[in-house]
Amino acid sequence: MELREEIRRAYAEAATSGSCCGGSSCFGASLYDHEQRAALPEAAALVSLGCGNPTAVAELREGETVLDLGSGGGIDVILSAKRVGPTGRAFGLDMTDEMLALAQRNAAEANVPNAIFLKGVIESVPLPADSVDVVISNCVINLSTDKASVLAEIGRVLKPGGRVGVSDVVAEDRLSVDERSERGSYVGCIAGALSKSEYEAGLAAAGFTDVEVTFTHEIADGMHGAIVKATKR
């Protein structure tokens, strides 16, 4: 709980200051193309704290229901809401009041009424089972201290055949937990990262198939931004 509060404070400060938290893995809005950035309120782009662009790999379709775990200032929820259109819905889940307030303002400015923000933690998602077509997340799962619960919750809320399209920080299998911690802090999205094989095994244990973990860019020695994809059985 102490670590969760430290993370909450860091992201609350980012929301109120209007800037990225400065973690070593934070590439922010630079990972979105010009058209996507143009569709976003400036305040959403300024507090983009992610390490990737999950909306680019999630293959969202008209009318689908999407859930973004750790939605922050709302950038991925807004883009998802536009992609699924008025017949679809995009939920954003965050534990930080300041981020939720900012995200709601950004969604209103972007005129996306199908963007819905929920308060909660990613280990216990306040949505019913089998209610979501796609789960996305951007550099947030690594912040959880109970990743098995997060992956189980993703499996619970997804419909059969539902998809995962996540951007996260992932370690090479050669690095021990201590070696990951030497490369950065937990709040900076480094120390808590799973290894590639740990991610694959965790998703398989949670009921997923077609699991892919693909490194996209190096963040530190042996640590990478990655795309994680899987399908619920």
Q: Work out the average pLDDT over 219-223.
A: 96
161: left (phi over 0), alpha (psi -120 to 50) or beta: left
Q: Residue 64 belongs to a domain with what CATH number?
A: 3.40.50.150
Instruction: Count the domains in the chain.
Output: 1
Give yes or no for a contact between 97 and 72, defined as CB atoms under 8 angstroms apart.
Answer: no
Give yes or no for a contact between 156 and 127, defined as CB atoms under 8 angstroms apart.
Answer: no
**pLDDT, tens only, 73-114:** 999 999 999 999 999 999 999 999 999 999 999 999 999 999
Which residue(s) pair with 94 in the sheet? 119
Residue 146 or residue 48, greater confidence: 146
Q: Work out the average pLDDT over 127-153.
A: 97
Of the chain, the percentage scoring pLDDT greater than 90 comes to: 73
Q: Work out the average pLDDT over 184-189.
A: 89
Helix (H), strand (E) counts: the chain: 8, 8
Q: Note down the domain range covering 209.
A: 2-232
Residue-averaged pLDDT of the chain:
89
pLDDT of residue 32: 55
Collapse the DSSP code of 154 into the 3-class scheme (helix H, G, I; strand E, B; otherwise coil) and give the result.
Answer: helix
Q: Work out the average pLDDT over 211-233.
A: 96
Give yes or no for a contact between 230 and 209, defined as CB atoms under 8 angstroms apart.
Answer: yes
pLDDT of residue 54: 87
Q: Which residues contact 121 (CB under 8 A, 6 or more apart)?
A: 4, 95
CA-to-CA distance for 69 and 166, rounded, in angstroms? Answer: 9
pLDDT of residue 35: 63
pTM reported for the whole predicted model:
0.88
Residue 82 or residue 3, greater confidence: 82
